[in-house]
Amino acid sequence: MSDLLSIGVSGLLAYRKALDTAGHNIANVNTAGYSRQRVELGSRMGGPQGDGYIGAGVSSNTVKRLADALVTTRLQGDSSAYARAETFSGLASRVDGWLSSPDAGLTKPLQGFYDALSGLSANPTSAASRQSLLAGADSLSDRFNSLQGQFDGLESEVNQRLTQTADEVTRYAQSVAELNERIVLAKGQAGGQPPNDLLDQRDALIKEIATRIGITTTEQDDGGINVFTGSGQALVLGRQANSLTVGDDAYGSGRKELFFSGGQNITAQTSGGVIGGLLDFRRELLDPLKSDLGRMAAGLAEAMNQQHAAGMDARGQLGGDFFSDIAGSVYAARANSGTAAVGVSLSDAGALTGDNYTLAYTGSSWQLTRARDGSSVPLTGSGTAGDPLQAEGLSLVVSGAPAAGDRYLLKPTAQAGSQLRVAITDPARIAAASPVRVSAALSNSGSAAIGGISVSDPANTSLLSGVNIQFTSASTYSINGAGSYAYSAGTPIAVNGWSLNLNGTPATGDSFQVATNGANSSDNGNARALAGLSSRGILDGGRSTLTAAQSSLVGRAGALAQQAQLQVDAQAAVKAQTEAEQSSMSGVNLDEEAADLVRYQQAYQAAARVIAIANEVFQSLLDAARR
């Protein structure tokens, strides 16, 4: 009866394995990435006998890992998408928080600045209102500077995280390559039986890579897995791993880009994962916000300076720059062979687009290309200081000799927010008054009254010269006693860069004197014009006020943050669904294992009983023979 004995032994061995596996499952109930295992039992067939086949017991064919390669692959993709959305959303909500916070955003300092301008208009000579305008302008420029600082800080954080994440991807790729080698080896040693726990480890590592960068995988016949980036570069090829590195862009502009194995720049083709989220955030939100913030700063400085120059300060001098001048940033490509340097000044804030450009020299001419979409931008001028290259509010002056193929990256407003500074410190230098005033001689007998005087050209060198307009008849006048000019009611008299409106009919001999307002004038003509900037279109060709630009800044950050949050929620749901699917297939259920333990234990005990029966049967035979 050795057959029954071996059948019983086969049961003991098989259920021992099954109990071990259930124990292994229970032990790994909380191990991340663990896939439950199951001993696959098969009946052993006996030899042929006259009356048919009697079975030879049970055998365990293999220890099966319950995992679905398709679900695993899908989970990798979902993890990539979720990590991208979460990274983007985390950064976007920080920017959104800064811009929409009443304490950190632009709203309060901008209102404070406008309040101070309005206060100056009501009280142009008051030292307090002049001082509070300087304080308001200071806190406004500080806020621009600090927002720009926060954006710059975020950019360097993005750079750091890119570097760190690329390093992690490289390390994980090496580990996957090592595991590939061990798996192929282990599979060979075990006669083709799968090394289940190594496979789990490898899947977990590949998932780690997928949360960092979008990948595709292909499984090899020998058990190895190849990992490719979205652009098709092989991160892992069998037992060989390649590196992902981060380095400076071609212009040394401080921007970090992604390189494959230290060579090819794959920034533009990379998507998904933390790296994809960082790159998307930089491209879709950070760059436009920096440019728009800079554009607001440039618009504010230009409009304020222009109007300020058309006024007269408390010392009786024409207004100088209120804010210091803002210049664009230029980065020459490292590969340039010429010696030319390019200077970018912002000549017309209303025409600025907020885009970045590349300027290339063909050997005979300059070509300007929009960096965002590669479209060509028409240029006028020759590039000399007298005739600068001009396009979209930019004025470019080239010095030195360019070589054919030289390229420059222009970021006209990306750093402008940090350049906004109040140029005056002396409250008396605030130009609140109009530079000129007009008076009608008291002896005038006509009905002509002053309708107002405005400065049309503050640069006119004779602006401040006194002018006497004497009417030689109701329709003619002389200027400073000379000449005879026709006067018609309703047409302003324009001399020396100012223009004077009269209402009514002058009488012969009536005279009007135009003179400079001089020092300490409490005229508020220019202060009122400065205060009017709050509702004047400054950007986008005069269509957008600063408030509108700020509102679109807040709206853009808010919309992207909202959209990103929605994506996070959507991706989280998709990922959770796939995880549930995977867990449903591969996760350990303790109740199930408990039931299996009971089941396998009973089977083991029964098998042991079979051996005892075999023994008893054999004993019966022996007892029969002894007799």
Partner 1 sequence: MRVSTSMLAQGAVGQLQRQQAALAKTQLQMATGQRLTSAADDPSGAASAVGLDHAQAQFQRYQGSIDAARHRLGLEENVLADSGQLLQRVRELAIQLNSGTQSAQTRGVIATELRGLREQLLGYANSDDGQGRYLFAGSQDGSAPFAGNGTVSYAGDQQQRLLQVTNSRTVADTDPGSEVFQRLRDGNGTFTVAADSANTGVARLSGARVTDLSLWDGGSYTLGFNAGNYEIRDAGNAVVTSGAYSEGQVLSFRGIDLTLSGAPADGDRFSIGASSQQDVFAQIEQLARIAETPFDTAAQRAQNQTAIHQSLASLDAATLHLTDVRAAVGNRLAVLDDAESQNGAQEVEVATALSNIRDLDYAEAATRLSQQLTALQAAQQTFARVQGLSLFDYL
Of residues 472 through 531, those in contact with partner 1 by CB under 8 A are: 517, 520-525, 528, 531
111 contributes a contact to partner 1 by CB under 8 A: yes
The single residue among 561, 568, 603, 610 that binds partner 1, judged by CB under 8 A, is 561
127 contributes a contact to partner 1 by CB under 8 A: no
Q: Which residues lie below 8 Å from residue 168, measured CB to CB, with a gap of 6+?
A: 208, 212
Min CB(27)–partner 1 separation in Å: 13
Q: Which of 431, 434, 440 has the alpha carbon at shortest distance from 454? A: 434
Q: How far is CA 253 from the centre of its chain?
A: 16
211 contributes a contact to partner 1 by CB under 8 A: no
Helix and strand tally (H, E) in the chain? 10, 27
Structure tokens at 262: 């230290």
30 contributes a contact to partner 1 by CB under 8 A: yes
Min CB(284)–partner 1 separation in Å: 14
Query: What secondary structure does DSSP assign to 309-378, as a single string?
Result: HTSB-TTSSB---SB---B-EEEE-TT--S--EEEEEES-GGG-----EEEEE-SS-EEEEETTT--EE-
**Residue span 444-463 as binding mask against partner 1, x where in contact by CB under 8 A, dash where not:** -x----x-------------
Q: Using CB under 8 A, which residues numbered 36 to 95 contact partner 1?
A: 36, 92-93
Judged by CB under 8 A, the stretch of 48-56, 136-144, 288-296, 575-583 that binds partner 1 is 575-583
Min CB(310)–partner 1 separation in Å: 16
107 contributes a contact to partner 1 by CB under 8 A: yes
Min CB(92)–partner 1 separation in Å: 8
583 contributes a contact to partner 1 by CB under 8 A: yes
548 contributes a contact to partner 1 by CB under 8 A: yes
Min CB(594)–partner 1 separation in Å: 4
Pick between residue 107 and residue 418 the one whose CB is nearest to partner 1.
Answer: 107
Within 10 Å of residue 50's Cβ, how many Cβ atoms?
A: 4
The single residue among 45, 53, 55, 101 that binds partner 1, judged by CB under 8 A, is 101
Judged by CB under 8 A, the stretch of 1-9, 229-237, 472-480, 544-552 that binds partner 1 is 544-552
Pick between residue 110 and residue 215 the one whose CB is nearest to partner 1.
Answer: 110
Structure tokens at 250: 């071609």
What's the burial of 415, exposed, middle or buried (CB within 10 Å: 0-12/13-18/19+)? buried
The single-letter code of the amino acid at 72 is: T
Q: In what order do the strands lie in the sheet with 449-455?
A: 449-455, 498-503, 493-495
Pick between residue 201 and residue 415 the one whose CB is nearest to partner 1.
Answer: 201
Q: Which of 121, 113, 465 has the alpha carbon at shortest distance from 323? A: 113
588 contributes a contact to partner 1 by CB under 8 A: yes
Say which residue the tokens 């913030």 belong to. 293
Pick between residue 309 and residue 557 the one whose CB is nearest to partner 1.
Answer: 557
The single residue among 9, 56, 554, 608 that binds partner 1, judged by CB under 8 A, is 554
Pick between residue 111 and residue 369 the one whose CB is nearest to partner 1.
Answer: 111
The single residue among 216, 505, 562, 615 that binds partner 1, judged by CB under 8 A, is 562
Say which residue the tokens 């396998």 belong to. 600
Q: Could you tell me what percentage of the chain is helix, strand and coil, using 3-state DSSP and rounding each to the nearest 5?
A: 45, 20, 30
Q: Which of 279, 158, 272 has the alpha carbon at shortest distance from 212? A: 272
Question: What is the C-alpha separation between 520 and 263, in angstroms, rounded?
Answer: 67
The single residue among 551, 613, 615, 618 that binds partner 1, judged by CB under 8 A, is 551
**Residue span 381-420 as binding mask against partner 1, x where in contact by CB under 8 A, dash where not:** ----------------------------------------
565 contributes a contact to partner 1 by CB under 8 A: yes
Q: Using CB under 8 A, which residues numbered 595 to 624 contact partner 1?
A: 595, 597-598
Min CB(315)–partner 1 separation in Å: 14
Q: Which of 380, 355, 360, 381 has the alpha carbon at shortest distance from 370? A: 355
* 273-281 vs 127-189: helix crossing angle, rounded to 10: 160
The single residue among 306, 460, 478, 534 that binds partner 1, judged by CB under 8 A, is 534
What's the burial of 101, exposed, middle or buried (CB within 10 Å: 0-12/13-18/19+)? exposed
Question: What is the C-alpha separation between 229 and 596, in angstroms, rounded?
Answer: 42
The single residue among 337, 362, 480, 584 that binds partner 1, judged by CB under 8 A, is 584
3-class state of residue 279 by DSSP: helix
The single residue among 49, 425, 443, 488 that binds partner 1, judged by CB under 8 A, is 443
The single residue among 255, 282, 421, 437 that binds partner 1, judged by CB under 8 A, is 437
Min CB(247)–partner 1 separation in Å: 33
575 contributes a contact to partner 1 by CB under 8 A: no
Within 10 Å of residue 153's Cβ, how many Cβ atoms?
A: 11
Min CB(282)–partner 1 separation in Å: 19
